[in-house]
Amino acid sequence: MELIEDIQKIEKPFKNAVITIGNFDGVHKGHQALFEKVKEESNLISGTSIAITFEPHPLKVLGKKAPPLITRRDQKFELISASGLDKLICIPFTREFAAISAEEFIDRLLLEKIGMKTIVVGPDYSFGQNREGTLEFLVKAGKQKGFKVVMPDWVKDPETSNSSDEARISSTMIRNLVMDGRVDETKRFLGRHYQIRGKVVKGRERGGSKLGFPTANIKLHDELCPKMGVYAVTVETVKGNFKGVANIGYSPTFDDHLFTIEVHILDFKDDIYGSRIRVNMIKRLRDEKKFASIEELSAQIRSDIETARKILN
């Protein structure tokens, strides 16, 4: 897949462009179903399959309260690339861009610049200044300007569609599951486990020396952090992939009131300070708890590890 981040570098329209447009936060199964429909429509006309997205999130530019992103830029691009589309066009979202009318957006960008022949739309679709480009507007424009508007069956009739997940899925729903700690439920809607990413940094150096369980302390890259607590996880590192137990929160037994994300990687002794790791959140095990002693905490961590091994086997 080719990533295009400067639309001015598009020298000529693409051959029979079939597009879909959205923020695609989470790149969840609903988004993935749209991409599949784009590829299907593109194959019918030997065309170019294209997704168009925006950075940063429009709400951030418009001064409105934006929710924490499920997938930040790098992960979003990776996931869309894995969908098998031909092109991903990322348009820098600015206030000037937000002021473009829906008709101008269709004429200047989609038709003249990109060469759109078909557009695939999802539920509650709208675009352009003041979201004036509704589905009704788009269908009318398509008849006037000669492009096809496609709505997948699960969007047309979610009640009778076999793709019930795609029909009712939303980024908001996934976000709420993560913030509620129900990470094991997100795989059904994402098609993968929810993942956090970050850099391994120096921590308080008490995991190994005081507790007997060394941890990788993560400087979080993502905006969306799961609910505080202890989780069974899998960990992707520069040294390979491993199982682990993650603690998210303030480690109340130590009473130092510092928020941390610490991961004990099972059966792992390598030094990965300074490297980036990816932590797949498999299942929440318990709340954080203040223990009466370091010994009690160590015993609980040992129990957490045993529980995590059973879940991850």
58, 163: one domain? yes
Q: CA 186, CA 100: separation in Å to the nearest integer?
A: 36
Give the domain CATH number at 228. 2.40.30.30
- What's the pLDDT at 205? 61
The rounded average pLDDT for each run of 10 residues, N- to C-terminus, in the chain (313 residues) is 93 97 95 96 98 92 90 96 97 92 95 97 81 89 97 68 64 96 97 97 64 89 96 97 96 78 94 96 95 90 97 96
190, 216: one domain? yes
- Using the 3D structure, point to which of 141, 169, 197 is the last residue of a domain: 169
The answer to the question of residue 181 being in a domain is: no
What are the b/e assignments for 43-66, b being 16+ CB within 10 Å? eeeebbbbbbbbbebeeebeeeee
Please count the other Cβ atoms lying within 10 Å of the Cβ belonging to residue 257: 8
- What's the pLDDT at 204? 65
Q: How many domains does the chain have?
A: 2
Strand blocks (E) in the chain? 2-4, 17-21, 48-55, 87-92, 116-120, 148-150, 194-201, 216-220, 229-237, 240-249, 260-265, 276-286
164, 196: one domain? no
- What's the pLDDT at 208? 47
The answer to the question of residue 179 being in a domain is: no
Give the strand pairing for 229-237 and 240-249.
Answer: antiparallel
The answer to the question of residue 50 being in a domain is: yes
The answer to the question of residue 303 being in a domain is: yes
128, 207: one domain? no
The answer to the question of residue 180 being in a domain is: no
153, 199: one domain? no
- What's the pLDDT at 116? 98
39, 149: one domain? yes
- Using the 3D structure, point to which of 169, 197, 224 is the last residue of a domain: 169
The residues near 186 (Cβ < 8 Å, ≥ 6 apart) are 174, 177, 178, 193, 194, 281
Sheet order of strands, 48-55 included: 2-4, 87-92, 48-55, 17-21, 116-120, 148-150
Please count the other Cβ atoms lying within 10 Å of the Cβ belonging to residue 275: 13
Please count the other Cβ atoms lying within 10 Å of the Cβ belonging to residue 298: 15
The answer to the question of residue 175 being in a domain is: no
149, 262: one domain? no
The answer to the question of residue 174 being in a domain is: no
- Using the 3D structure, point to which of 122, 139, 169 is the last residue of a domain: 169
242, 121: one domain? no
- What's the pLDDT at 207? 52
Give the domain CATH number at 112. 3.40.50.620
The answer to the question of residue 72 being in a domain is: yes
8 A C-beta contact, residue 189 and residue 28:
yes
**Which range of residues forms the domain containing residue 239?**
186-312
268, 308: one domain? yes
42, 165: one domain? yes
Q: CA 58, CA 70: separation in Å to the nearest integer?
A: 15
82, 52: one domain? yes
8 A C-beta contact, residue 226 and residue 276:
no
114, 199: one domain? no
Q: Pull the structure tokens for residue 168.
A: 């009712």
